[in-house]
């Protein structure tokens, strides 16, 4: 019998198990998942676990239990046009253990025990997927059946309710699924990681070597003398900065200027329901 999922990678060696892991533990793994940079960032992401006998016959299957948590982030800020805005964002924290290379730590022995399967020679399968189309609360109904009865058309059985956050997000997930797009909500952690790990020094060195004339022009326009001056200037624009000045009568005023990283972060928390394309390419 053929297995139901395309095998991305496999291992026949023993896997070490434990309650925590460190950098050194990662060398014990032989198998890896596909390069899905988004998996684990959404509460809709699930892992289907199946166990087969050595002939490929299904013995049992289940969804791996999750213990996801949330934090509510509240903020007030001014956009680039100095309009006062605020947000209240419910941040999702996945319970999956995902390392920096987007590999997920799995406890296969525990998953087998949870299904009550006795030890023996078996084949286990993990399917990483997103459960966005239909559940007990938001069901789908059959709209049409093809003439050859091999295809069906499904539609939501519920209406859009703009006063219900859960309902709105469910509809947005359906729309993303149909259009092969993604919610900003599901890539906020990815964006944050890129913002926090961006190395401006390295990018400047590449840009300066590529276009020395632009560097000299920047020095002339902004009165900067050295490459270090330019990097410091760009860092302030990127990360933000504060200044203090004397207003007179022994009064000191402090003013904070938001950086690019803050503007992007505030935008993602404010417009997390926006739908975007994930087919992008980052270049320097």
Q: What pLDDT digit, counting tens, does each position of 28-80 carry?
A: 443 344 445 667 778 888 888 888 887 778 888 888 888 888 889 998 988 87
Quick one: pLDDT at residue 265? 92
Q: What pLDDT digit, counting tens, does each position of 139-194 carry?
A: 888 888 988 888 888 888 888 888 888 889 888 888 888 888 888 898 888 888 88
Which H or E run contains 154?
Answer: strand 152-156
Quick one: pLDDT at residue 18? 37
Quick one: pLDDT at residue 283? 38
Give the C-alpha separation, 141 to 120, whole Å.
41
Segments making up each domain of the chain, as ranges: 1-131, 132-180, 193-270
Q: What is the overall mean pLDDT for the chain?
A: 78
Quick one: pLDDT at residue 30? 39
Q: Is the pLDDT of residue 281 over 60?
A: no
Q: Determine the average pLDDT of the residues in 113-135.
A: 79
Give the C-alpha separation, 231 to 237, whole Å.
10
Q: Is the pLDDT of residue 4 over 80?
A: no
Give the C-alpha separation, 230 to 281, whole Å.
26
**Residue 120 has what DSSP assignment?**
S
Which H or E run contains 92?
Answer: strand 84-93
Q: Determine the average pLDDT of the residues in 101-122.
A: 76
Confidence of residue 241 (pLDDT cuts 50, 70, 90): confident
Residue 263: exposed, middle, or buried by beta-carbon count in 10 A (0-12, 13-18, 19+)?
Answer: middle
Q: Determine the average pLDDT of the residues in 242-267.
A: 81
Whole-model pTM above 0.75?
A: no
Q: Are 43 and 68 in contact (CB under 8 A)?
A: yes
């Amino acid at each position: 019998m053929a297995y139901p999922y395309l095998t991305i990678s496999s291992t026949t060696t023993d896997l070490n198990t434990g309650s925590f892991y460190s950098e050194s533990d990662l060398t014990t793994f032989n198998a890896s998942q596909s390069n899905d940079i988004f998996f684990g960032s959404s509460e809709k992401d699930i892992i289907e676990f199946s166990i087969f006998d050595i002939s490929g016959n299904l013995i049992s299957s289940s969804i791996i239990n999750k213990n996801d948590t949330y934090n509510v982030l509240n903020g007030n800020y001014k956009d680039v046009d100095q309009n006062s805005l605020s947000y209240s964002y419910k941040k999702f924290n996945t319970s999956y253990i995902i390392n920096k290379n987007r590999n997920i730590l799995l406890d296969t022995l525990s998953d087998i025990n949870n299904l009550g399967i006795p030890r023996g020679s078996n084949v286990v399968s993990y399917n990483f997927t997103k459960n966005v189309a239909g559940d007990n609360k938001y069901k789908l109904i059959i709209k049409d059946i093809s003439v050859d009865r091999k295809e069906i058309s499904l539609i939501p059985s519920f209406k859009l309710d703009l006063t219900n956050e859960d309902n709105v997000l469910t509809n947005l997930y359906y729309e993303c699924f149909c259009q092969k797009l993604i919610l900003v909500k599901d890539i906020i952690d990815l964006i944050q990681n890129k913002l926090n790990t961006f190395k401006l020094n390295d990018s400047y060195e590449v840009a300066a070597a590529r276009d020395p004339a632009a560097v000299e022009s920047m020095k002339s326009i902004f009165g900067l003398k050295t490459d270090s001056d330019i990097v410091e200037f760009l860092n302030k624009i990127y990360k933000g900065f504060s200044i203090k000045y004397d207003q007179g009568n022994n009064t000191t005023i402090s003013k904070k200027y938001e950086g690019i990283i803050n503007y992007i972060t505030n935008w993602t928390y404010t417009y997390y329901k926006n739908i975007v394309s994930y087919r992008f390419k980052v270049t320097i």
